[in-house]
Amino acid sequence: MNVAATVGTPFQRAPFLKLLLRKGSTWAALAFIAALVLAAVLAPWVVAHDPLRGGNDALLAPLAAGHWLGTDDLGRDVWARVVFGARISLTIGIASALFAVVVGVVIGALAGYFGGWIDALLMRVAEFFQTLPRFVVALIVIALFGTSVLKMIVVIAAISWPQLARVVRASVATLAQSQFVDAARVAGMGHAAIIAREILPNAAAPIIVLGSLDIAMAILIEASLSFFGLGDANHVSWGAMLNDAQQYLRSAWWMSVFPGLAIALTVLAFNLLGDALNDALNPRGAAR
C-alpha cells in the first residue's frame, strides 16, 4: 500500500470529504464504527443482561427467549458479551494506536528534522523493534509478565510505533527542506515550534492513515492474545470468547461465530476507513 506522503497535502480542502465519501463501502465502514462506538459507550442500555451474570440457562441456541444470540457455556448472554467485548477491543485498539502514534511521531519527527547521528540512532532503534516478530514478542512478554489492559496497550503500542516513525521521518525530512520552513527559521522560530506548527500539520496525512490501520491491527493482536488465554480475565473480550468456544465447537457454534464475526467486521471497518483516508489524502496514488 502506497502511503508515501505527498508533501503538503492539507486535508481541510473541500474535495477531501468528497473524495473520502466517494465509495459506498466507506459509508458502510463509518456507519459501522459509529454504531459500534455508540453501542460500546451505551452498553448497559443496549443489552438486557449482565454480561458476567450466568445462570442455569446454559448453551441456549440463538433466538431463544430473551437471548437472541443464545447463551454460552456458563449461561451468559452472548449478545451482551459481544457488546461489552467491543469496549475492550475499542479501548485497547484505539489507546494503543494513539500511544504508538505519539511515540512514532515524536521519534520520527526528531529523526527527520535533525538528521545526522540522531536520525541514524533513532532509526536503528526503530529497525530493531521492527525486526522483532510482532505477535511472538507480544505473546512472550504478556505470558511472562502477566496480563492487564494497560500491559496489553503498552506491549501492542511498543510493536506498532516503528512503522509510523519511519514514515513520519520520511515526510518530515522532505518537508524540512521546503521554503516555508526556511522562512520560519529566518523569522526566528525555534525548532520545536517549527516542527509542531509548520511541518507536522502538513505531514498529517500518512499519520492518520497509519493510525487507522494500526487500530485494526491492534484489535487483531488483542484478540489473538486473548485467544491464547493471555487476555485480562476480568473483562469480556472477543478473543477470550473464541477461546471459550473452542471446547464447544461442535455443540455451540454460536459461541464462535458471533464474536469472530465481530472481530472481522470491526477490523474490516477500520481497514476500509484507512484505505478511504489514503485515497482521499493521496490523490496521486488513488486507485480507480
Partner 1 sequence: MTDTRSRLRPSRRQINLGALALATGLAVPRIGGAATGKGTAVLGIDADPPTLNLGTTTDFAAGDVSAKILEGLIWLDPQYNARPSLATAWSVSPDGKTWRFTLRKGVKWHDGRDFSSADVKFSLMEVIGKLHPRAAPVFKTLGLEVDTPDATTVVVKLQKAYAPFLSQMTVFDAPMLPRHLYEGTNIGTNPANQKPVGTGPFKLAEWKRGASIKLVRNDAYWDGDKPFLEAIIFQVIPQAANRVFALQAGEIDELLDFYTPKPEVPRILADKALAPRRSVNIPAIYFMMFNTQSPLMAKKDVRHALAFAIDRPRLVKQAMNGIARPGAGAFGDGFKWLFNDEVAYAKKYPFDPARAKAILEKAGIRGGTTTLRMPFDVSRAQMRAQSQIIQDNLRQVGLEVKLEPLERSVYYDRVFAKRDFDLMLGSYFSAGDPAIGYTRLYNTYTGTSPNTNASGYANPKVDELLTQAATAVDRAVRADLYKQLQLILNEDLPTLVLFDEETVDTASKKLSGMFPALDARDQWAGVKRLD
Partner 2 sequence: MTAFILRRLLHAVPLLLAVVVLNFLLIAFTPGDPITLLVGDFPAPPEYLAQMRREYGLDQPLWVQLLRYLGKVAVGDFGFSFANQQPVAALIFDRLGATLELTLTALLFASVVGIAFGVIAARSASARRHGVADSVIQGAASAGYAVPDFWLGQILILVFAIGLGWLPSQGNAPVRGSAPGWAGWVAHLPYLVLPAFALSLRYLTLITRITRAAMLEVMGADYILAARARGASEWTVLVVHALRNAAAPVLAVIGYNVGFVLAGSALIEAVFAWPGIGRLLFESISKRDYPVMLAILLMVSATVVIANLVTDIVHRMIDPRIERA
Q: Does the protein bind partner 2 through residue 242 (CB under 8 A)?
A: yes
Of these, 116, 250, 284, 288, which contacts partner 1 (CB under 8 A)?
Answer: 250
Question: Which of partner 1, partner 2, none lies near 199, with the C-beta cut-off 5 to 8 A by kind?
Answer: none
CB of 263 to partner 2, least distance (A): 5
Q: What residues are paired with 70 via a beta bridge? A: none
Distance CA 283, CA 260 (A): 34
SS3 call for 157? helix
- Grid cell digits, residue 288: 480507480
The residue (of 14 and 287) whose beta carbon lies closer to partner 2 is 287
Q: Does the protein bind partner 1 through residue 247 (CB under 8 A)?
A: yes
SS3 call for 197? helix
Kindly indicate which of the ranges 68-76, 82-90, 124-132, 203-211 contains the residues binding partner 1, using the contact rule CB under 8 A.
68-76
Residue 54: CB atoms within 10 Å: 16
Helices and strands of the chain, counted as H and E runs: 12, 0
Q: Does the protein bind partner 2 through residue 216 (CB under 8 A)?
A: yes
Question: Which of partner 2, partner 1, none lies near 272, with the C-beta cut-off 5 to 8 A by kind?
Answer: partner 2
Q: Which residue has the cell 484505505?
A: 275
Q: Does the protein bind partner 2 through residue 32 (CB under 8 A)?
A: no
The residue (of 68 and 145) whose beta carbon lies closer to partner 2 is 145
CB of 283 to partner 1, least distance (A): 49
Cα separations in angstroms, 153 against 26, 82, 95, 138, 196: 27, 20, 7, 11, 26
Residues numbered 122 to 151 that lie near partner 1 (CB under 8 A) are 143, 146
| 138: nearest Cα among 160, 155, 157, 162 | 155
Of these, 50, 102, 246, 283, which contacts partner 2 (CB under 8 A)?
Answer: 246
Cα separations in angstroms, 46 against 36, 39, 55, 135, 267: 11, 7, 20, 33, 22
Q: Does the protein bind partner 1 through residue 27 (CB under 8 A)?
A: no
The residue (of 52 and 192) whose beta carbon lies closer to partner 1 is 52
The four Cα atoms 42, 45, 48, 51 give a dihedral, to 10 degrees, of: 40
The answer to whether 181 and 175 are in contact (CB under 8 A) is: yes
Q: How many residues bind partner 1 (CB under 8 A)?
A: 21
Q: Does the protein bind partner 1 through residue 233 (CB under 8 A)?
A: yes
The residue (of 58 and 208) whose beta carbon lies closer to partner 1 is 58
The answer to whether 9 and 282 are in contact (CB under 8 A) is: yes
CB of 53 to partner 1, least distance (A): 6
The answer to whether 151 and 145 are in contact (CB under 8 A) is: yes
CB of 89 to partner 1, least distance (A): 19
Q: Which residues bind to partner 2, rule: CB under 8 A?
A: 1-2, 25, 127-128, 131-137, 139-141, 143-145, 166, 216, 220, 223-224, 227-228, 239, 242, 245-246, 249-250, 253, 256-257, 260, 263-265, 267-268, 271-272, 275, 285, 287-288
